[in-house]
Chains A and B, each alone.
Chain A
Amino acid sequence: MGSVNKKKIKWVIVILLSLVVVAITISVIIVSQKTLPTEDLRIAREALSEAKEAEANLYAEKLYKQSVQMYDSAMSNWSRENERFILFRDYDKVINFAKKSKKIADEAKEESIKKADNLSKNVEAAFVRLTKKIELYNKLFKDLPLSKSVFDAHNKSKMFLSESKIAHETGKLKEAEVLFKKADIYINHANTAASKMLRDYFGDYPKWKNQANDAIAASRGGNKVILVDKVAHKLYVYQSGKLIRNYDVEFGPNWMAHKERSGDKATPEGNYHIVKKKERGSTTYHKAMLLNYPNADDRARFEQKKRQGLISRGAGIGNLIEIHGNGGRGFDWTSGCVGMRDRDIDDLYRLVGSGTRVTIVGSIESLSAITEGVDF
């Protein structure tokens, strides 16, 4: 009896174990039929890597972040599914997330390349615009007696432009953009201040034109007349209505202003004449020709401004405005006099005598002629 029972038990165990083996085999077959998301995740990861290489994290930030999120979701879903009993695992969501991540990463890469390309072109175009503004400053404003803040703004602009170019060369386009925007702000400040100064100055142009025409007309009787153009930094000699000489000249650092008082480093404007010629030894500036500054107009203006409180009570009107040598230095260095090269003053000295009319004007050319139609 006992032996029969033992046999039965053994057979039950064998059958049960066989069932277990069969169940395991079926499960293995079922599981092996399931598609793992391995390949999709690898593709998504590589797409993300390519997007990053194309700097999508900078130029297509939103899409890139979405793609990263999709990849992370795929991974966390995969991990979650793997925690479940093997037969109940479902990787569809994981594969879906991975595929979305790849798709968005590709879009991010494409958008990044486009945006970076556009930005690079914009930055390059901005460099051209900025360089033109700097050239405009150098062409029109560089020699104007500008304030320190304007010089500084111009110089800072050049520095930011250099930094921006370096950033652009090293592929840091966003940084280059920020830097050229800074450069643009500074150059605009400098150019706006300088152009306002120039436009304001040319408000007197009709008067200068008349004075210059009068001076040339005065030479028609055969007299020599000196006409000084401050903007052009030129001294012309006219005789019988014709230009017979022209020289480069230099003034004081505040040459644009009309001389009003002692020490203002400005060069006077108006009609003057040579009152005294100074030979070598009588002047420290090689040779010199003293003008009759201040004339009656200068005195009247000085007194009026003093009454108006525009010039301090203790200020003097100034004197000793000359045309003299020691020039040719390439910048405005005198105290308001007209500086010439020694060989030029030698020539002029021989050419003109005491009493020669000297007309000093801001410019004999109009502003548009000087700027050659450049928009500023």
Chain B
Amino acid sequence: MKSKLIIAIAAMGIAVLFSSCAKVPQAEIDAATASIQEVKDAGADLYVPEAYQALVDSMKSANEKVEVAKAKWFPNYTKAKDLLAVVSQMAVDTKAKSEARKVELKAEVEAMIVEVKALVEENKGLIAKAPKGKEGREALEAIKSDVAVAETTVTEVEALLANGDLIGSNDKIKAAKEKATAIKAELEEAIAKKGGK
């Protein structure tokens, strides 16, 4: 009877010994860290900053959970592992969101480039129709310069787009569109004035 008790106590000791040796889920931690880096490299911090921040916070929380487990006599990493799995999935989702936003933004910028280019051409056509006399071309220098600035901006936007700077190109093309639209209105007014003579 006594020997059975001794064996039971020894078995418990062994069980305790084994359970206290539960391994830190390093592979999961490394995988989640790598996936976050991948998401950052994909520009998620720029294109979907809120989702990216939530991902980073979740990773921090997972790291804390790992340490909480480590601090115990009998570490149990189940919760940390679960959270790390959630982080990895979040990383996949955030990357997808970021890619989708990039595609959307790129399409917006490209559409605006087409629009601004058309406006620039339209403005050039309007300049040709604008009132001019003996020295009309020189008198329209100011408006032509305005059109040239808008045209140069389109070229700059195309360069930014080629370099993958979607946010910079989006802001710039919006300004160029405003400019080209204002020039068009100015020219149409001048032409209307001439027509009314």
Contact = CB atoms under 8 A, between A and B. Distances in A.
Interface of A: 10, 13-14, 17, 20-21, 24, 27-28, 31, 36, 38, 41-42, 45, 49, 52-53, 71, 75, 78-79, 81-82, 86, 89, 142, 146, 148, 151-152, 155-156, 158-159, 162-163, 166-167, 170, 172, 175, 252-253, 265, 326, 328-335, 339, 341
B149 A163 contact: no
B73 A28 contact: yes
B43 to A, nearest CB: 16
Given A10-B2, A329-B133, 11 more contacts: A10-B6, A14-B6, A27-B73, A28-B73, A45-B60, A79-B70, A142-B142, A148-B145, A155-B146, A162-B174, A265-B135
B64 A253 contact: no
A253 B141 contact: yes
Contacts of B142: 142, 146, 151, 155
A328 B195 CA distance: 11
Contacts of A14: 2, 5-6
Interface in B139-197: 139-142, 145-146, 148-150, 153, 171-172, 174-176, 178-179, 190, 193-194, 197
A158 B179 contact: yes
Given A152-B149, A155-B145, A167-B171, A49 B135 contact: no
A339 B133 contact: yes
Contacts of B148: 152, 155
B73 A31 contact: yes
B131 A329 contact: yes
Interface string B38-81: 00000000000000010001001101100110110100000000
B67 A159 contact: no
A175 B168 CA distance: 10
B101 interface: no
Nearest to A327: B133
A333 B64 contact: no
Nearest to B183: A155
B9 interface: yes
Given A28-B73, A329-B131, A166 B68 contact: no
B135 A82 contact: no
B67 A45 contact: no
- Shortest beta-carbon contacts, A-B, top 5: A162-B175, A333-B133, A82-B70, A151-B145, A163-B175
B67 A331 contact: no
22 contacts: A10-B2, A42-B64, A45-B57, A45-B61, A79-B67, A81-B71, A82-B67, A82-B70, A82-B71, A146-B142, A148-B141, A151-B145, A156-B149, A158-B179, A159-B150, A159-B176, A163-B171, A253-B139, A332-B139, A333-B131, A333-B136, A334-B134
Nearest to B176: A159
Contacts of A146: 142
Nearest to B193: A330
Per DSSP, chain A at the interface is helix
Contacts of B172: 163
A109 B134 CA distance: 64
Contacts of A252: 135
Given A163-B171, A265-B138, A89 B57 contact: no
B13 interface: yes
A224 to B, nearest CB: 27
Given A17-B9, A75-B64, A329-B131, A170 B2 contact: no
Contact of B190 (A79, A265, A326, A330): A330
Contact of A38 (B64, B132, B145, B146): B64
B146 A78 contact: no
B49 to A, nearest CB: 9
Contacts of B136: 333
B6 A38 contact: no
A71 B60 CA distance: 10
Contacts of A333: 131-136, 139
Nearest to B133: A333
A82 B153 CA distance: 57
A155 B73 CA distance: 71
A36 B73 CA distance: 13
A334 B2 contact: no
B71 A89 contact: yes
Contacts of A335: 134-135
Contacts of B13: 17, 20
Contact of A331 (B61, B140, B176): B140
A340 B179 CA distance: 31
